[in-house]
Structure 1
Amino acid sequence: MPDSNLTPEQFAQLMKLTPQDAVDWLMARNLMRETFAWEDIFQAEHNTQFTISRLARVDLLQDIYDGIVANVNGNLSRRDWMRDVEQLLRERGWWGLNEVTDPVTGDVVRTRFDAARLKLIFDTNTSQAYAAGLWERAQRTKKTHPYMRYVTMDDGHVRPKHRAWHNVTLPIDHPWWDQHFPPCGWRCRCRAEPMNQEDYDLGYTESRPGAEFDANAPIVQTPLVKIAPPSPMVDYVNTRTGQIVQVADGIDPGFGYNPGKARSQALKDLEQAKLQRAAKGIADAAKKDGMSE
C-alpha cells in the first residue's frame, strides 16, 4: 500500500500507464486456442487464453499475440502492428475472405480479415489489457485514492446507457465495478479514473468541452454521482454452449466482468492450488519417512 503522504507528482508517476501490469495480463494469456465463434471463450476465460474467432492457425495466433504484447510494451505502434499483421496474413493466405469449417456444427462459415477487423482485434485486446493494468494500480494506490469514477467521452457517439454512468463515483471495491469496469462493450471508449477523498468531497468535476476548438471555452462543473445506479440484469444465452449467464443491462455480452479483478482472483486460485498440492506433498513425504501415522 502506498504512503498516504504521496505528493501529487509522486502519485501521478505511480499511476502513469507504464505498461508492466498490462503486459503481465497479456503474458498470462499465453494459451493459444482456435475458436470459431467469439462465444467459445467467454468473459473471464480471456485471462488465460488468446484467440481470434475463425483464425484456424495456432502459429498465426501466436504471431499476432506477440505483436500485441510488443505494442503494449511500447515497442510497436498500432499502425506498425496492423502493417505487420496484414503482411503476415497475406503471406499465409488469410487476408480477405476465407472459408473455414466449424467443428461444432460442421457448417462452412466465412471469415474476413481486413483493416476494420484488425483495428477491432487490436483495440479490444489492448483496452482490456490497460483496464486490467489500471485496476491493479488502483488497488495499490487506494489508500490515497479510494474512489473510482466512470468517465465517458461525453460526445454524440456515447451509448445512451453508458452516458447515464458518466461521473458515477464509487469506492474502488464497490461490487458495481465487478461488471461496470470499462470497456463495457465492443469499441467502448469509456474509461475509469481513480479519485482522492478531497475531490470526492468537493462533489463535482470540471471540464471544458470544446476547448480543442476554442481556447476560451467555459468551464463546466458536473456533479458526481455517488450512488450506484440501478443495474438490472438480463439473461444471455451463449449460443455455443447453451449456458445462460446474467449480464448487466447496457453491457455487451462478453464484457460483463472486471479484467483486473478476474486476474487477481485467478492468481489467488492458482496460489491456493499450489499450496494445497504442496501441503499434500509434505504430508505424503512425512508418511513415507514414518513421521506420521
Structure 2
Amino acid sequence: MADDLSAVFAQPFAEQLAYFSQKLALPSEHWDDLIAAGHDRGFIVAGAMKENLVADLKAAIQTAIDEGKTIQWFRDEFENIVQKRGWTGWLGEDSTGGTAWRTRIIYTTNLRTSYSAGRYAQMTDPEVLASRPYWRYVHRSREHPRLSHKAWHNTVLPAQDPWFNTHFTPNGFGCKCLIEAINEREMKRMGKAQPDTAPDDGTYQHVVKRTGEVVTLPVGIQYGWDYAPGQSVAEDIRRMAR
C-alpha cells in the first residue's frame, strides 16, 4: 500500500483481528446506513444489497487484515467478487479511476478503523491505563493535510478526557492520524509539565443531503466520524483477543 501506514497494516495484532471478525456483514444502500459507533458491530459497503456479496467483501477485507495483503491484492479480489456476484451499478464502476478510488476507500477505511479500534481496546486495558495514562494525538498526513488535524499534533490529554469520544482517530475518510498512549516521563520529554487543555475549535452544522437532517459536529471531524472506533466493544475485543 502506497502510504506511510503500509508497514503497520502488514503487522496485524490480536485486538485488531478480533474487532473486525466480530462484525456482521449487512446489506446497505447508503454508506451512512450505519453511522458512527454502529460500525463497531456492522460491516457495510454502500450499494451492496445482497447478503452473499457483502459476506464475500467482508471476507476479503478479513484476509487483507489477517495476512497483511496489499491494496492491489484487494483490488483483484474485489473484481473477482463483483463478477461472481453480478454486482453492477456501484459507484466508481464506470471508470478505471473510479474503481481505484472506490477500492481504496473500502480497503483503507476498514484497515484504519480496525487498527484504531484494536489500539483503543489495548490502550483502555486497566493495566495499560495505569502505566500509560496519557494519550497523544499524532498527525501523519504529508500531502493535503487537514489543518485542524495538523493543529492537534502532539496534543496530550488524560486518556479519559471526553475529547477523545469524538476525536479518536481516524477523523474522516483518508485521515491517517493516530492516537498514542504515553507515560508521564514521555510527556515531560515533550516539554510538557502537565497535560494540555482539550482543544475547543467550535462546531459546525452538516446537512445530510438525502434526508435533510442537520447534524452538529466538532470542527475538523467529518460527518459520520465523531466517535471512537472500538469504544463500544472494547471489553469484548479484549476478551476475544486473550
After TM superposition, give the deviation of residue 154 of structure 1 in Å. 5.6
1:24 and 2:12 are equivalent in the alignment? no
Residues 63 and 194 of structure 1, relative CA distance in 2, 3 Å threshold: same
Which residue among 141, 144, 148 is the counterpart of 1:157?
144
Mapped to 2, the partners of 1:18 and 1:88 lie a distance apart of 24
- Higher mean alpha-carbon deviation, 160-169 vs 150-159, is at 150-159
The match for 2:174 is 187
| Partner SS state of residue 180, structure 2 | strand
Work out the number of aligned pairs and report it.
220
Structure 2 residue 100 is the aligned partner of structure 1 residue 115:
yes
Q: Which residue among 108, 126, 140 is the counterpart of 2:111?
A: 126
1:94-123 Cα deviation digits (max 9, x unpaired) = 3xxx43xxxxxxxxxx63341221111010
More strand by share: 1
Separation in structure 2 between the aligned mates of residue 235 and residue 34 of structure 1, nearest angstrom: 29
Provide the rounded CA distance (Å) in 1 between the counterparts of 2:205 and 2:31: 18
Deviation at 1:161, TM superposition (A): 1.1
CA contact (8 A) 2:28 2:46 kept: yes
Q: Deviation string for 1:111-147 (max 9, x for gaps)? A: 3341221111010011000100011111121211111
> What is the CA–CA distance in structure 2 between the aligned matches of 1:152 and 1:128, rounded to whole Å?
16
Match of 2:5 in 1: none
Corresponding residue of 1:247? 217
- The answer to whether the Cα contact below 8 Å between 1:147 and 1:169 also exists between their aligned partners in 2 is yes
5+ long unaligned stretches in structure 2: 1-10, 94-98, 238-242
Within 1, Cα distance between the matches of 2:211 and 2:229?
A: 22
Amino acid in structure 1 at the alignment position of 2:172:
G
* Cα distance change on mapping 1:27 and 1:203 into 2, 3 Å: same
On the 8 A contact 2:141/2:175 being kept in 1, the answer is no
Q: Tell me, what secondary structure is at the counterpart of 1:150?
A: strand
Read off the aligned partner of 2:156 and give its amino acid letter: T
User: 1:204 & 1:224 partners in 2: Cα distance?
Assistant: 9
- Cα 1:204–1:63 change in 2 (3 A) is farther
Amino acid at match of 1:180: H
Once residues 224 and 117 of structure 1 are traced to their aligned partners in structure 2, the CA distance between those partners, rounded to angstroms, is 43
Q: Deviations over 1:159-214 (max 9, x none)?
A: 11111111111111111111111110011111111111101122349xxxxxxxxx
Instruction: Report Cα offsets for 1:8-62 as digits up to 9, x if no partner.
Output: xxxxxxxxx64211122112211x3222222211111111111111122221110
Mapped partners of 2:59, 2:231: distance in 1? 24
d(CA) in 2 for partners of 1:257, 1:47:
10
**TM-score, normalised via structure 2 length:** 0.81
RMSD over equivalenced CA pairs, Å: 2.5
- Contact 1:181 / 1:192 at 8 angstroms: preserved in 2? yes
CA distance in 2 between counterparts of 1:166 and 1:231 reads 14
Which residue of structure 1 aligns with residue 31 of structure 2?
38
* Secondary structure of the corresponding residue to residue 39 of structure 1: coil
SS, match of residue 111 in structure 1: coil
Alpha-carbon distance between aligned partners in 2 of 1:39 and 1:170, rounded to the nearest angstrom: 30
Specify the SS of the correspondent of 2:160. Answer: coil
Distance 1:151 1:75, change over 3 A: closer
Report the CA distance shift for 1:41/1:240 in structure 2 as closer, same or farther (over 3 A).
Answer: farther
Take 2:198 and 2:110, find their aligned partners in 1: how far apart are those partners?
Answer: 28
Cα distance change on mapping 1:224 and 1:182 into 2, 3 Å: farther
In the alignment, what sits opposite 2:49?
Answer: 56
**CA–CA separation in structure 2 for the residues paired with 1:204 and 1:157:** 28
Deviates most, 238-247 or 111-120:
238-247
* Cα deviation digits, residues 229-252 of structure 1 (max 9, x gap): 114222334445555433211111
Structure 2 residue aligned with 1:173: 160
* Corresponding residue of 1:135: 120
Of residues 82, 85, 98, the one that matches 1:92 is: 85
Task: Identify the structure with bigger relative contact order (alpha carbons < 8 Å, sequence gap 6+).
Answer: 2
- SS of 1:263 mapped into structure 2: helix
1:66 aligns with 2:59: yes
